[in-house]
Amino acid sequence: DSKISSLRSWDERRTIAIPGDHDATVHFCLQHLLALYQQATKDHGSFYLVLSGGSTPKELYEILCRSPYKEQIDWRKVYLFWGDERSVPPSDPKSNYHMAMEAGFKKMPIPAHQIVRMHAEEKIEENALAYEKKIQEILKGQPFDLIILGCGDDGHTASLFPHTKALKAKNRLVVANQVPQLQTWRMTLTYECINQARNTLIYVLGASKKEMVAKVLQSPDQFELYPIQAIGTKEHQALWILDQDAAETLLK
């Protein structure tokens, strides 16, 4: 099917890859991630990687932390950060940190100080500032090499939810965001932080997302309603990686 192409420019801010079925897409994403790891470690000796939470990337993390992928990474060069975190302890199954570590990162020889967890379970506003300082301390002005993001059913990404204050954050990398629609607080990277990254990757699998994907990519920009539309700039295009199920409506 000619429409199943690997890479095509969507607009000046966004590129789309539709590698094929579920497995083809997972492996396309892993190859892309490895290529960015190689480029980053060649350029500056480290790989500053920001992980997404939710369920979609779990399988990606599991495969990355298993042979034959895990041998292709020098884990001493890897720094793990999170794009957002729920206001729960690290042992809670809802924790994005917990999901990633259990998926396999806890078994990789990454130096402990290079796993930078968001402390969102308490004093979330104070800890958002602390996380911001941590990013600045470690990256020393470098941008993140890769930020992996998912797409929520409501068009949110990270914890940038529709009609929430974090969408308007200025001069901040990390904020605490009250999410009334979930009756909770979240910690999240801001648009400013995400759109400064060398590479952003929006990874969406499955038919359940096909309507939202089409709406987000085909509607005029309405960032308050579909926050994920604001990811990607002319300088740093966002790469959407969609499997054919998630891209079905878009390709109609």
- Interface residue list for ligand 6PG (CB under 6 A): 52-56, 83-84, 96, 150-152, 156-159
- C-beta of 41 vs 132, nearer to ligand 6PG: 132
**Shortest Cβ distance from residue 118 to ligand 6PG (Å)?**
10
Backbone conformation region of residue 74, classed left if phi is above 0, alpha if psi is from -120 to 50, else beta: beta
Per DSSP, helices labelled H in 56-185 are 58-64, 96-103, 124-139
Q: Which class for 68: exposed (0-12), middle (13-18), buried (19 or more C-beta within 10 A)?
A: exposed
**Shortest Cβ distance from residue 161 to ligand 6PG (Å)?**
9
**Shortest Cβ distance from residue 10 to ligand 6PG (Å)?**
20
- C-beta of 25 vs 46, nearer to ligand 6PG: 25
The sign one gets for the Cα dihedral 128, 170, 149, 201 is: negative
Nearest to 166 by CA among 230, 119, 95, 234: 230
Coil vs helix vs strand at 180: helix
- C-beta of 12 vs 182, nearer to ligand 6PG: 182
Per DSSP, helices labelled H in 75-231 are 96-103, 124-139, 191-194, 210-218
- C-beta of 188 vs 244, nearer to ligand 6PG: 188
- C-beta of 46 vs 160, nearer to ligand 6PG: 160
**Shortest Cβ distance from residue 169 to ligand 6PG (Å)?**
16
**Shortest Cβ distance from residue 44 to ligand 6PG (Å)?**
26
